[in-house]
Amino acid sequence: MLESCKTVLNGVHDDKFLFRKELIKSLSWLEADDQVKLQAWVRKNFYSEHADIIEEILNTKYNFAS
């Protein structure tokens, strides 16, 4: 599932709205350990492009799986 989420985020990174939506959806689908891995991967690969979205989503207490 983690690899699938990465593929989707790679595919939508050019559209801020879709990137935000898919990041939230991906985090909600993943178990806690994979959420941590995805967060690190997103920061590494997209922080320069989507810092505002990444900070908003990863610092907000959404009802993600845990």
Residue 65 domain flag: no
* Residues spanned by the domain of 40: 2-58
- What is the C-alpha separation between 66 and 45, in angstroms, rounded? 24
Residue 64 domain flag: no
Per residue in 32-63, pLDDT tens? 999 999 999 999 999 999 999 999 998 876 55
Residue 23 domain flag: yes
Mean pLDDT, residues 13-40 taken together: 95
Which amino acid does the sequence have at 61? Answer: K
DSSP 60: S
CA angle 51, 53, 57 (to 5 degrees): 120
Which percentage of the chain shows pLDDT scores above 70? 91
CA angle 50, 25, 49 (to 5 degrees): 10
